[in-house]
Homo-oligomer: A and B are copies of this chain.
Amino acid sequence: MSELVLTTFDWVPEMPRGYVRDLRVRWALEEAGLPYRVESTPFRDRNAGHFAHQPFGQAPWLTDGDVSIFESGAILLHLGERSDALLPADPRGRSDAKEWLFAALNSVEMASLPWSLLMFSGESEGTTAWKLFDGFLKVHRLQHMEKVLAGREWLAGTFSVADILMADVLRLVDRFDGLAAYSACRDYVARTTARPSFVKAYADQMAHFAAADAA
């Protein structure tokens, strides 16, 4: 097996800590018990080497031997191919986990990210844009996710990368109280983030950035 190296920022501002996307990768690696090493890339001075790995100048990326992968979804799919703890082995469950992995990113996060950006920006409730994105998230996504999660523990039979992504997406909505009316979604976030793999990944990310403050 080739060595897995996760590259994340050396430092980020206080606000996004605990929500930076390297957490998804750390969580999956811990869940699968795959050994890995963490490297840092400068947050403030993003050089050509950074863009060669991540063309949008973001983090994280993962190297697996001589293959370098960006996009949290692509990285988790790649890790899923390396461990049955991340993707079910049976074809039906595997297919379900992959579709939910995409649903987390391209249906739910597609609605939750604009909503969260408006929250961050201090956009006042009542504007046209606020109503548009609040409805997109709640009426078109959370209402449906609530029904799905009321009827099952995990998205695809057993815990998988789909749950890591969906829970991480919903966790940010919860931070801004967006799950207040969706108890099955809140319970789902609670049971996913109670997993030792999440607890360790979260603590490791916070310690990584705290060490940069101290340096």
Give which listed residue, B56, B110, B127, contacts A113 with CB less than 8 A: B110
Which residues of chain A from 83 to 105 have a CB within 8 Å of any chain B CB?
A: 91-92, 95, 98-99, 101-103, 105
Which residues of chain A from 121 to 169 have a CB within 8 Å of any chain B CB?
A: 121, 123, 127-130, 132-133, 136, 140-141, 144-145, 147-148
Is A32 in the interface zone, CB < 8 Å from B?
no
Q: Are A56 and B140 in contact (CB under 8 A)?
A: yes
A92 surroundings in chain B (CB, below 8 A): 67
Is A206 in the interface zone, CB < 8 Å from B?
no
Is A114 in the interface zone, CB < 8 Å from B?
yes
Binds B, one of A3-11, A70-78, A179-187, A207-215: A70-78
A129 surroundings in chain B (CB, below 8 A): 118, 121, 123, 127-130
Q: Are A109 and B110 in contact (CB under 8 A)?
A: yes
Is A55 in the interface zone, CB < 8 Å from B?
yes
Residues 41-74 of A, flagged 1 when their CB comes within 8 A of B and 0 if not, give: 0000000000100011110000000010111111
Given contacts A56-B141, A95-B67, A123-B129, contact A109 B107 (CB under 8 A): no
A113 to B117, CA, bound (A): 14
Residues 2-43 of A, flagged 1 when their CB comes within 8 A of B and 0 if not, give: 000000000000000000000000000000000000000000
Give which listed residue, B91, B106, B114, B147, contacts A106 with CB less than 8 A: B106
Give which listed residue, B57, B69, B105, B117, contacts A99 with CB less than 8 A: B69
Q: A143 → chain B, closest Cβ, in Å? A: 9
Known: A56-B144, A118-B129, A123-B132. 14 other contacts (CB 8 A): A55-B103, A55-B144, A55-B148, A56-B103, A58-B107, A71-B102, A72-B102, A74-B102, A106-B109, A109-B110, A110-B110, A121-B128, A127-B128, A128-B129
A-B contact pairs, 11 of them (CB 8 A): A55-B145, A56-B107, A70-B103, A73-B105, A74-B98, A74-B99, A77-B102, A106-B109, A110-B113, A117-B136, A118-B132
Closest 5 CB pairs of A and B: A129-B129, A71-B102, A114-B114, A74-B99, A73-B102
